[in-house]
């Protein structure tokens, strides 16, 4: 069957880097359907909006369209469904994604254009639907519940999708990986346990390493972001993954998300040696009573211990924080401020407590009569918050200000890097890169180069030290040396567009326009989306 898997963010979010990216789940569904022999087009219409998307879909004439519906993009997704229905009356329109999963009946009742809602894991459910040649079914049969997929390795990886893609930059898209589904916890603000179940399914360490190796070799991706709810949930898998990255000499840098009670120093040391440079912890609050109200089942001591371990290993630390829980007081916010000052996260995000369908907070608010499912059709807001008082806005601002205020104090300095080496060992290239970056920020080029050179000597197949040496030399206007360093990058990872772009910039600075043009053209073929490549190609025309 010819089908389209589509996503579009709310048009107001079209320039939001994260919301305008295609969800990893939609990519996985497309890859799965394709592997079963369907002709699949994968489209992210976030930058185009509803009208342009509808015109494109009309020209494609798919037999079925699967839309990824989240709370934040529901309004434009429903508008798109209505447009498709108008233009292609016979096309089957299926909604999936977390918002659709929890509000299926309401959506089918209100959005007449949508034929089916897929609840839960879509890979098999959508395939079954397409393969039984679905027509409009009676209302009772229009919610399809996907069975649990326990063997995630059996699914084809999103990056193996070989069909037509529109609005998707593989260089950006495929660096986001999700390697597990489900969470054993039940924080009241989170829909993950209800969406995936409280039993977690995992990709094996070998599968993740294979996927990374494929993306490095095919797309030249050298930085990855692992978006699991909690990547460190299964310790043994993490250690095996790190071992494989090092054994295969896959020199990538990466970041991940983690719960504070599933992290320890030994794991962090192995992760850093395998390229981890940044970790985001789901901290939420520094107040014991608020943590308990969230049913977070972590303690302030857990947060302090995990943060200290992250900082000892010399990985950049970021916190996810929230404010505006029912019953939360200014004194609780004060405790979160104190926690920030004690633990020194270098970065973070503060969110108001929101009522998302599928969360315990939402169910309670509905039972109390504070909210009903109708709100998602009346309101055009991207999210509905638990508390609307101005005071909550001030708390969020206070926490954000605090994160900003301690940022400089949180930076790692010379004595920190010495301490990191004692923990992770002298041979850790990530420490060399981060220390070099610290000197580079201060325009101490020689000291930066010394660190990068040390990493390059120990790991000649690693593109990162050469990339950084090139940067330092370019900044200090040593363009010929910069070009040589960037040429090392392109030799090590030929499909990495950034190496070709940087070479082109260095060659242009040297006045070698013809060679610069060749490098810029090569970069443009590898990445037609990057505005810097478009600019230099224009200059060199």
By the criterion CB under 6 A, which residues form the site for ligand SF4? 183, 185-187, 190, 192-193, 229-230, 259, 282
Considering the complex, state which of residue 186 and residue 234 has its C-beta at the smaller distance from ligand SF4. 186
Please state the closest distance from residue 196 (CB atom) to ligand SF4, in A.
9
Please state the closest distance from residue 281 (CB atom) to ligand SF4, in A.
10
Considering the complex, state which of residue 54 and residue 290 has its C-beta at the smaller distance from ligand SF4. 290
Considering the complex, state which of residue 187 and residue 482 has its C-beta at the smaller distance from ligand SF4. 187
Please state the closest distance from residue 186 (CB atom) to ligand SF4, in A.
6
Could you report how far apart the first and last alpha carbons of the chain are, in Å?
Answer: 44
Please state the closest distance from residue 317 (CB atom) to ligand SF4, in A.
17
Considering the complex, state which of residue 32 and residue 307 has its C-beta at the smaller distance from ligand SF4. 307
Please state the closest distance from residue 225 (CB atom) to ligand SF4, in A.
16
Please state the closest distance from residue 188 (CB atom) to ligand SF4, in A.
9
Residue 316 · residue 435 · CB < 8 Å = no
Considering the complex, state which of residue 196 and residue 496 has its C-beta at the smaller distance from ligand SF4. 196
Stretch (H or E) spanning 277:
strand 276-284
Please state the closest distance from residue 407 (CB atom) to ligand SF4, in A.
25
Considering the complex, state which of residue 77 and residue 192 has its C-beta at the smaller distance from ligand SF4. 192
Whole-angstrom distance, CA of residue 261 vs CA of residue 344 = 18
Strand partners, 319: 281, 348
Considering the complex, state which of residue 189 and residue 474 has its C-beta at the smaller distance from ligand SF4. 189
Whole-angstrom distance, CA of residue 459 vs CA of residue 451 = 12
> Token pair for residue 187?
């924080």
For the stretch 426-461, what's the b/e string if a residue is b when 16 or more beta carbons lie within 10 angstroms of its beta carbon? eebbbbbbbbbbbbbeeeebebbbebbbbbbeebee
Residue 373 · residue 358 · CB < 8 Å = no
Residue 158 · residue 28 · CB < 8 Å = yes
Considering the complex, state which of residue 170 and residue 348 has its C-beta at the smaller distance from ligand SF4. 348
Please state the closest distance from residue 295 (CB atom) to ligand SF4, in A.
8
Q: What share of the chain is helix, strand, coil (3-state, %, to 5)?
A: 55, 15, 35
Residues 6+ apart with CB under 8 A from 6: 26, 42, 43, 44, 45, 53, 57, 65, 66, 67, 68, 80
* Strand extents, DSSP E, 56-196: 64-68, 92-96, 116-119, 143-145, 164-166, 176-177, 180-181
Q: Alpha helices of 314-444 — where are they, by DSSP H?
A: 330-343, 360-368, 375-378, 390-410, 414-424, 429-441
């Amino acid at each position: 069957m010819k089908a389209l898997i589509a996503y579009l963010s709310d048009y107001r979010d079209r320039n939001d880097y994260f919301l305008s990216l295609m969800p990893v789940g939609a990519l996985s569904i497309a890859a799965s359907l394709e592997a079963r022999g369907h002709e699949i087009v994968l489209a992210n219409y976030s930058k185009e909006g509803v009208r342009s998307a509808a015109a494109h879909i009309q020209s494609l004439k798919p037999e079925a369209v699967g839309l990824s519906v989240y709370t934040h993009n529901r309004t434009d997704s429903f508008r798109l469904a209505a447009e498709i229905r108008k233009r292609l009356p016979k096309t089957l329109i299926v909604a999936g994604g977390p918002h659709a999963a929890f509000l299926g009946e309401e959506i089918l009742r209100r959005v007449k254009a949508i034929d089916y809602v897929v609840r839960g894991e879509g890979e098999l459910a959508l395939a079954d639907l397409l393969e039984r040649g679905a027509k409009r079914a009676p209302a009772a049969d229009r919610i399809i519940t996907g069975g649990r997929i326990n063997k995630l390795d059996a699914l084809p990886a999103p990056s193996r999708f070989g069909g037509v893609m529109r609005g998707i930059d593989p260089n950006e898209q495929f660096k986001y990986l999700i390697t597990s589904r489900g969470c054993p916890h039940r924080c009241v603000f989170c829909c993950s346990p209800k969406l995936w179940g409280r039993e977690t399914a995992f990709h094996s360490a070998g599968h993740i390493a294979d996927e990374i190796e494929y993306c490095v070799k095919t797309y030249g991706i050298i930085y990855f972001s692992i978006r699991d709810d909690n990547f460190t949930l299964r310790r043994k898998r993490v250690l095996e993954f790190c071992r494989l990255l090092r054994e295969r000499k896959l020199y990538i840098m990466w970041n991940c998300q983690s719960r504070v009670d599933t992290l320890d120093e030994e794991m962090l040391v192995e992760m850093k040696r395998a390229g981890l440079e940044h970790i985001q912890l789901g901290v939420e609050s520094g107040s014991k009573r608020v943590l308990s109200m969230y049913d977070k089942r972590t303690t302030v001591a857990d947060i302090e211990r995990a943060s200290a371990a992250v900082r000892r290993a010399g990985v950049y630390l970021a916190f996810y924080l929230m404010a505006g829980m029912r019953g939360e007081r200014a004194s609780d916010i004060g405790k979160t401020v104190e926690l920030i000052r004690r633990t020194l996260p270098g970065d973070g995000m503060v969110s108001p407590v929101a009522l998302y369908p599928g969360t315990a907070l939402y169910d309670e608010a509905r039972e109390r009569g504070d909210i009903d499912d109708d709100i998602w059709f009346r309101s055009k807001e991207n999210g509905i918050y638990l508390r609307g008082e101005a005071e909550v806005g001030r708390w969020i601002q206070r926490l954000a200000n605090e994160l900003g205020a301690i940022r400089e104090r949180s930076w790692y300095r010379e004595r920190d890097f010495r301490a990191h080496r004692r923990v992770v060992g002298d041979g850790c290239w990530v420490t060399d890169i981060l220390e070099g970056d610290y000197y580079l920020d201060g325009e101490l080029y020689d000291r930066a180069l010394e660190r990068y050179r040390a990493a390059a000597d120990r790991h000649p197949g690693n593109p990162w030290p050469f990339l950084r040496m090139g940067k330092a030399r370019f900044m200090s206007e040593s363009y010929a040396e910069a070009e040589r360093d960037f040429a090392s990058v392109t030799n090590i990872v030929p499909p990495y567009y950034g190496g070709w772009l940087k070479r082109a910039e260095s060659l242009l600075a040297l006045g070698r326009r013809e060679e610069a043009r060749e490098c810029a053209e090569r970069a443009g073929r590898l990445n037609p989306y990057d505005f810097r490549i478009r600019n230099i190609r224009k200059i060199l025309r």
